Homo-oligomer: A and B are copies of this chain.
Amino acid sequence: MQELPLLEPAGGQSVVPCCPPLTERPMSAAEAETAARMFKALGDPVRLRLFSAVASHEGGEACVCDISDVGVSQPTVSHHLKKLKEAGLLTSERRGTWVYYRVEPSVLAAMGQLLAMPSAA
């Protein structure tokens, strides 16, 4: 899997959300590819709980060592965090022994925008 095109490769500077609100006009095939990849990454209950664990962790970041209460093994946690990173939903940084994961806020914002309803609906 590759990094999502709506993300700048590193540093988290400018970000162009991939798509207009779903209710505005039919999505193009290319837009749908990008957005479906994000939705799919959150479409697994364990992965979603891990994403939520990272997103809600103190300081907005967490390593595998911080996450132990989801009921899956550490290698499984690592595997899922990697998948979330590949989908562009998390960024990571190695510090010493551990890799720390952080939610990419611009991606959440882009997904939220996709789901926005028109105010006059």
Main secondary structure of the interface of A (DSSP, over half): helix
* A93 sits at the interface (CB 8 A): no
Tell me which residues across on chain B come within 8 A of A16, comparing CB atoms: none
Using CB atoms and an 8 Å cutoff, list the residues of chain A in contact with chain B. 22-29, 32-33, 35-37, 39-49, 51-53, 55-56, 60, 69-71, 103, 105, 108-109, 111-112, 115-117, 121
14 further A-B contacts with Cβ under 8 Å, apart from A29-B71, A105-B117, are: A23-B55, A24-B56, A26-B49, A26-B53, A27-B48, A27-B49, A29-B45, A32-B52, A35-B42, A36-B48, A39-B43, A42-B43, A60-B121, A108-B117
* Among candidates B25, B109, B115, residue contacting A108 with C-beta atoms closer than 8 Å: B115
